[in-house]
Amino acid sequence: MIDTPFRPHILLTVAFTVVCLGVPGLRALDQLVTRDHEVTEQRQRGDIHLDAMRTMDAVVTRFLTLLDDYLTSEQDRQPGRDVLDAALNEVEKSEGEYEARVLTLHFSEMLAVSDFEKAWEKCRKVLQNDMLLRGDQKGEEGAANRTELRALSYDIRQATNKLSDATSRVVAERKRSAQEEYREAWIHLAALAIAGLLLEAVLVICVVTVRQRKSVRPQQTGRE
């Protein structure tokens, strides 16, 4: 227990420490809370981001399967035009929902989306034209369409894979960045707390030392 004469001085050192480090400490605490919210937000956004990509990938895969059946099966076993049109619309819908749900696309995602849209528009146009061919038109023009559709099918698959990889990297990077900023905020707050304790300890030692020296001098004078 600190002797009564020392208590006012100790309280002054505590007040001085609070004044010196209180405002930075509050700012650091506010920063920590903000970073914690950002970590939660990035986790939620990342889940939405990945879910949108998985949905789009599944829809594209289904369409490419139907397209392959259309290109390789006998005419009586080919998917009907209504089925293919529905699949085309579903892909466009899923691609639009991906961009709408993600809101902000990274540059690598923008490039992948651009590649996808270029291949997709060509594929849609060629497929719809091919489905309109009748009788003799199915010959040379139909063969050319099928060759182009096979190439476009590959391009669509590659662009979708590219977008999926880019999405995974972007989500992981954003989560990692948010975690690092949260960790840095913790370190900053801990450093301020340690600095406050050290400053308080130094001030207390100084006060005690000064008081002891003052109490020793009168005794020495009396002996002389």
Q: Say which DSSP state 139 is in.
A: T
Indicate whether 1 pLDDT > 50.
no
Query: What pLDDT shows up at residue 19?
Result: 62
For the whole model, what pTM was predicted? Answer: 0.73
Query: What pLDDT shows up at residue 17?
Result: 61
Average pLDDT, the chain: 81
Indicate whether 208 pLDDT > 80.
no
Query: What pLDDT shows up at residue 2?
Result: 44
Domains defined along the chain, listed by start: 23-191 (1.20.120.1730)
**What's the Cα-to-Cα distance from 15 to each of 10, 34, 39, 184, 193, rounded to whole Å?**
9, 27, 35, 27, 15
- Rounded CA-CA distance 63/85 in Å is 10
Q: Each residue of 47-86: pLDDT tens digit?
A: 999 999 999 999 999 999 999 988 887 776 778 788 888 9
Query: What pLDDT shows up at residue 3?
Result: 46
CB distance 116 to 161 below 8 Å: no
Indicate whether 118 pLDDT > 90.
yes
Among 91-95, 96-100, 177-181, 199-203, name the one with the lowest average pLDDT: 199-203
Query: What pLDDT shows up at residue 222?
Result: 47
What is the mean pLDDT of the segment spanning 7-23? 61
CB distance 182 to 33 below 8 Å: no
- Rounded CA-CA distance 24/10 in Å is 22
Confidence tier at 120 by pLDDT (50, 70, 90): very high
Among 34-43, 79-88, 212-221, name the one with the lowest average pLDDT: 212-221
Confidence tier at 201 by pLDDT (50, 70, 90): confident
Q: Each residue of 135-166: pLDDT tens digit?
A: 555 667 778 888 999 999 999 999 999 999 99
